[in-house]
Amino acid sequence: MPRWKALPEELDPQIREFASQLRRLVDRSGLNINAVADRTGFSKTSWDRYLNGRLLPPRRAVVALADVTGTPQHHLTTMWELAERAWSRAEMRHDMTIEAIRITQAREALGASDPAAGGRSGGPG
């Protein structure tokens, strides 16, 4: 059985690379997730989420992992900054999609689903 779950397909490439780098650091350290959690002060559940691309770790967690694994902090924090920007963009896209769905649902509920009607359900009034 592989040590890591497959990263989500929809993950931004920058985030995917960052999560993969974190995994490589953990692998090279020889530590298991429990040991990483104990030594970094972040929970096993959190590290599971970070390493599986479900949650971007806080910068403090990345710095702690760098310290635990003997990795230069600046390399990892630079990658984190890029991943954080990508994560923010992904969240923004998600928020815009949710907003568009809600607007469509509201228009349909009001009977104004025809964009040509200019947002009004009736004729000129």
Architecture category of domain 13-104 in CATH: Orthogonal Bundle (1.10)
Q: Which residue has the higher pLDDT, 49 or 94?
A: 49
Rounded Cα distance, 33 and 56, in Å: 16
Average pLDDT taken over every residue of the chain: 83
pLDDT of residue 98: 64
Give 20-44 pLDDT, tens digit per residue.
999 999 999 999 999 999 999 999 9
Whole-prediction pTM value? 0.70
Ranges of each domain in the chain: 13-104
Judged against a pLDDT cut of 90, whether residue 120 lies above it is answered with no
- The tokens for 25 are 């650091």
